[in-house]
Amino acid sequence: MRQAPSTQWDNYLAQAQSTDECLGPYGRPRQSWSRLFTAMGELDANRLRELDKTAKRLFHDNGATFHMHAGDDAPDRPWELDPIPVVLDAREWRDISCGLRQRVRLLNRILADLMGPQTLIRERLLPPDLILRHPGFLRACSGSLPPERMRLALYGADIARGPSGRMWVVRDRTSTPPGLGYALENRTILAQLFPREFRDLHVERLSQTFRALRDGFNPAGDLREGFNRVVFLTPGPYSRSYFEHAYLAAYLGYTLVQGDDLLVRDGRVWLKSLSGLQPVHVILRHVHDEFCDPLELRGDSQLGVPGLLEAVRRGNVALANPLGSQVLENPGLYPFIPRIAEKWLGEDLQLPHAASWWCGQKPERDYVLQHMDELFIKTYDRSPIRIGDDVVYPPFLASTELREHIEREPWRFVGQERLSFSTVPVLSGGQLEPRAVTLRTFTAYEGPEYRVLPGALACCGEPKQSDLVDRLAGGICKDTWILGENQQTFDSLWVERQEETRQRPLIGLYTSTAAENLFWSGRYAERASSLVRTIRGLLREEDQDDFAPHGRDMLHCDTRLWQGLLDQAAASSDEQATLSTIRDIALSSEVEGGVSANITAFARSAFFVRENWSNDTWRVITRIGESSPEEDHQHTDLRKLQDQLDDLIILFQAFAGQCSDSMSRTDGWQFLDLGRQVERGQMMLTLLHPVLEADDVEQAPPLEAMLEIHENLITYRRAYRTTPDLPTVMHLLLAEPSNPTSFRSILIHISSRLRHLARSTHRPATDVLASEVTTLVNRLDAFGDDNWNALTHLEEATSIPSFLQDAKETLLSLGSELSHLHFKHAGQRARALPTIRIPSPHLEDGE
């Protein structure tokens, strides 16, 4: 075997303990790691730093989440990505996979039993307290499915290598296994970072498992023939894991929904889509069991779908994982599982778990109490312990206090052998350092067997916290590579195969909520960029630029958005005060309707529909969202301010370009573009209003600035080569058919978007809206030279201002009509009926 040439590797190996993943039996480097070292070649400190930087940038670009929680400065994600993968050879992975498949088979049988006949408890293989007292045991879910359908569709297991060199199961994740999206994201990033190494080492692809999850995704197995619509249920953008949900939903091609997007009618689940209610057959959920149905489970849940459990009972919808599967997330089960495996499967467990003692039994409790310092103590549902108004996790309690709690509620506690897990090299300050690691594995049902994802989300603990690694507070994550023996062929679900697209024509359905958020993404993007362009125009004037000599008069603009401030600025004769106000609008996050507020609103609307953006578009959105205002914006250099505004304009143009060039013309796109055009039209009318209303030409805002803001100054100069005069400018801005930014062009866009939506969502009423817009176009076209020339004499009434008034009203009502026609399903939340208190009859009253 060839030694790794790098001194960094040598340094690392020299300090690695015998329990390091890089070292095999007898302290010799493991073959898989040697292969990695060789493939990566010379890794000096510079190269390591460079890798780290690139990985961090890619990681960040993918997953910015715009802090949805007010005043929250927690990181976007619970962990950071380390660029060095964990590697395992395919032979060892086969054994691990075998063990995982055995375990999920066994867990399925246990689940079906606990949610059904409970023979395990009747026959005393499991004590009643361990199950029936566990908060994950939901009585309402018991018997909701026939045993053969009580089956995990996706099983997550955390595994780690113990001192003996064997892999151990550390934790089962059976309800909503988290991390699959992160595993996918890490892989996507590392494949970009190390394309050559990735290919040369024959790293096994993840896509097969995702394909199984997507195409064969029918956890009920026998739910129904033909097309099953799958939706991905997320707790929503306020959940810390929303990014992961959006990422996974986009990759799998499922519609991402929140509880409010679904409803139960006639015992079936329906998606409130743009084109009305659509049946849903499978729900891949990331909402915890007890929050899924406020009718039968937690009544205060805002995340679920009322009546969902009834739909499950009637066999009309399958949930992955089934409701009730949280009962298996119980470390107290571990001591009992080997016996169940022996009795039911006649097999030993292929993957052991750490020796555990459940305190609900007297001898075990005594053992735990006597060995408290040597054991890792947790609660059976991993809930914290309540102390007054505080909650504390067992490791942070003084041992006397913990002892008291164990004695008071022994059934809640489990003692587990403290294992020190193997370590892997992690980049830290340009050096490689050993950190303990657990691997989160994923096993997916692919009827009738299970397929194990060849890879894992590797989670590294802080140094010297190896036994706490499964708590994962602010850790580091890594990709896991299974090094195959043969060349792997490229495959990715991002790249659709033709035949697949044809087979699944119905994916990409939009919820009313998503459509509304796309519409507003479009509006806010347009509003913010118009505002930026306007401010830039104003600053040019401040900067004594030559072409907009009356720039300050533009402050008369009657704009609904920043009127108050502009009025204030205009009223002031002081140049400095005016400039200061403009700075506020441009940069202060405090100003309502300012650039910053609009950017925030844009980024959030866009984040709510994260799954609809391509990775490139999302990068642009991230950049826009992060164009944060300067702390001390009043002192920002004017030149720098202009540069920032220029950058923003480029970013918004990039966004618009991405949307028009790379998004397919789905209903979602129609709404996005509709939002942009409606906003653009309204902005234009708002800005033109003072031009036409001014008492005399001298006071009117300068026409050059108008042209500049609407990006028509060059066009005008090329076409007319004269000083702008009102009729010509207004014709160019309003009615010129060849001008792509004219009001006429905007109206044509709007009407064609509306006609498309009327057809695709089967709503003739939307066609009526389109006709109203077309009427406006016809009126514009009917204006002759007389009408336009009449504009010069501002005092003379012309038909154009009244047209503009009508147009303004039409655009305003369009927003509410759209909301009524297409978004009205969104946001309707069910609430609980009052329950009557029992007014108890008193026998005495009647005697």
Q: Are strands 86-89 and 476-483 parallel, antiparallel or unpaired?
A: parallel
Contact 402/394 with Cβ under 8 angstroms? yes
* Residue 550 found at the interface with other proteins (CB under 8 A): no
* Residue 846 found at the interface with other proteins (CB under 8 A): yes
Contact 587/636 with Cβ under 8 angstroms? yes
* 305 phi/psi in degrees, rounded to 5: -125, 115
* Residue 296 found at the interface with other proteins (CB under 8 A): yes
Query: Helices 575-587 & 638-662, crossing angle to 10 degrees?
Result: 40
**Nearest residue (CB) to other proteins, 118 versus 774:** 118
**Start-to-end Cα distance in the chain:** 98
**Which range, of 137-145, 226-234, 684-692, 815-823, touches other proteins by CB under 8 A?**
137-145
Contact 61/454 with Cβ under 8 angstroms? no
Nearest-approach distance from CB 9 to other proteins, in angstroms: 55
* Residue 132 found at the interface with other proteins (CB under 8 A): yes
Residue of 456, 425, 438, 423 lying closest to 52 (CA atoms):
425
Please give the distance of CA 278 from its chain centroid, rounded to a whole number: 23
Query: How many alpha carbons lie under 13 Å from residue 98 in its C-beta half-sphere?
Result: 10
* Residue 306 found at the interface with other proteins (CB under 8 A): yes
The string of DSSP letters for 302-334 reads SSS-TTHHHHHHTTS-EEESPTTGGGG--GGGG
Query: How many alpha carbons lie under 13 Å from residue 719 in its C-beta half-sphere?
Result: 15
Report 409-448 residues binding other proteins (CB under 8 A).
Answer: none
Contact 436/418 with Cβ under 8 angstroms? no
**Nearest residue (CB) to other proteins, 790 versus 830:** 830
Nearest-approach distance from CB 811 to other proteins, in angstroms: 30
* Residue 70 found at the interface with other proteins (CB under 8 A): no
* Residue 121 found at the interface with other proteins (CB under 8 A): yes
Peptide bond into 321 cis (omega under 30): yes
**Which range, of 56-64, 224-232, 305-313, 787-795, touches other proteins by CB under 8 A?**
305-313
Query: How many alpha carbons lie under 13 Å from residue 235 in its C-beta half-sphere?
Result: 16
Candidate residues 179, 237, 294, 675; the one interacting with other proteins per rule CB under 8 A: 294
* Residue 830 found at the interface with other proteins (CB under 8 A): yes
* Residue 263 found at the interface with other proteins (CB under 8 A): yes
Candidate residues 73, 225, 266, 795; the one interacting with other proteins per rule CB under 8 A: 266
Cα dist from 611 to 54, 340, 652, whole Å: 24, 42, 20
Q: Pattern of binders to other proteins over 770-809, x per CB under 8 A?
A: ----------------------------------------
Nearest-approach distance from CB 279 to other proteins, in angstroms: 15
**Nearest residue (CB) to other proteins, 188 versus 301:** 301
* Residue 267 found at the interface with other proteins (CB under 8 A): yes
Q: Structure tokens of 255? A: 């519609």
* Residue 387 found at the interface with other proteins (CB under 8 A): no
Nearest-approach distance from CB 299 to other proteins, in angstroms: 8
**Nearest residue (CB) to other proteins, 784 versus 846:** 846
Any alpha helices (H) in 543-628, and if so which ranges?
A: 563-571, 575-587, 595-608, 615-625
* Residue 129 found at the interface with other proteins (CB under 8 A): yes
Peptide bond into 448 cis (omega under 30): yes
* Residue 389 found at the interface with other proteins (CB under 8 A): no
**Nearest residue (CB) to other proteins, 299 versus 395:** 299
* Residue 836 found at the interface with other proteins (CB under 8 A): yes
Q: Pattern of binders to other proteins over 701-730, x per CB under 8 A?
A: ------------------------------
* Residue 484 found at the interface with other proteins (CB under 8 A): no
Nearest-approach distance from CB 834 to other proteins, in angstroms: 5
Candidate residues 28, 265, 497, 665; the one interacting with other proteins per rule CB under 8 A: 265
**Nearest residue (CB) to other proteins, 296 versus 542:** 296
Query: How many alpha carbons lie under 13 Å from residue 826 in its C-beta half-sphere?
Result: 19
Tell me, by CB under 8 A, how many residues bind other proteins.
48
Nearest-approach distance from CB 136 to other proteins, in angstroms: 14
How many C-beta atoms surround the C-beta of residue 576 within 10 A? 8
Candidate residues 2, 718, 721, 842; the one interacting with other proteins per rule CB under 8 A: 842
* Residue 388 found at the interface with other proteins (CB under 8 A): no
Contacts by residues 337-343 (CB-CB < 8 Å, ≥ 24 positions apart): 337/106, 337/110, 339/125, 340/106, 340/110, 340/120, 340/125, 340/126, 341/102, 341/106, 343/125
Nearest-approach distance from CB 298 to other proteins, in angstroms: 10
The string of DSSP letters for 511-525 reads BHHHHHHHHHHHHHH
Q: Are strands 230-233 and 282-285 parallel, antiparallel or unpaired?
A: parallel
Contact 444/213 with Cβ under 8 angstroms? yes
Angle at Cα 443 formed by Cα 440 and Cα 444, nearest 5°? Answer: 140
Candidate residues 39, 140, 193, 748; the one interacting with other proteins per rule CB under 8 A: 140
| Torsion, CA 382, CA 385, CA 386, CA 390, rounded to 10 | -90
Nearest-approach distance from CB 823 to other proteins, in angstroms: 15
**Nearest residue (CB) to other proteins, 289 versus 736:** 289
Candidate residues 14, 398, 506, 833; the one interacting with other proteins per rule CB under 8 A: 833
Cα 336 from Cα 547, distance rounded (Å): 83
**Nearest residue (CB) to other proteins, 330 versus 682:** 330
Cα 474 from Cα 467, distance rounded (Å): 15
**Which range, of 125-133, 155-163, 651-659, 723-731, touches other proteins by CB under 8 A?**
125-133
Candidate residues 142, 428, 488, 568; the one interacting with other proteins per rule CB under 8 A: 142
Nearest-approach distance from CB 806 to other proteins, in angstroms: 34
* Residue 127 found at the interface with other proteins (CB under 8 A): yes
Nearest-approach distance from CB 395 to other proteins, in angstroms: 24
* Residue 752 found at the interface with other proteins (CB under 8 A): no
What stretch of H or E contains 255?
A: strand 255-257
Query: How many alpha carbons lie under 13 Å from residue 624 in its C-beta half-sphere?
Result: 34
Report 342-381 residues binding other proteins (CB under 8 A).
Answer: 361
* Residue 829 found at the interface with other proteins (CB under 8 A): yes
Please give the distance of CA 755 from its chain centroid, rounded to a whole number: 31
Candidate residues 307, 675, 690, 701; the one interacting with other proteins per rule CB under 8 A: 307
Report 809-828 residues binding other proteins (CB under 8 A).
Answer: 828
Sign for the CA dihedral angle at 806, 811, 812, 815 comes to: positive
Q: Pattern of binders to other proteins over 310-329, x per CB under 8 A?
A: x--xx---------------
* Residue 125 found at the interface with other proteins (CB under 8 A): no
Q: Structure tokens of 485? A: 């023996």
Candidate residues 143, 221, 279, 727; the one interacting with other proteins per rule CB under 8 A: 143
* Residue 264 found at the interface with other proteins (CB under 8 A): yes
> Which residue type does 638 have?
L
**Nearest residue (CB) to other proteins, 18 versus 828:** 828
Please give the distance of CA 612 from its chain centroid, rounded to a whole number: 10
Nearest-approach distance from CB 829 to other proteins, in angstroms: 7
* Residue 843 found at the interface with other proteins (CB under 8 A): yes
Binding residues for other proteins, rule: CB under 8 A, are: 118, 121-122, 124, 127-129, 132-133, 139-140, 142-143, 263-267, 294-296, 299, 306-307, 310, 313-314, 361, 828-847
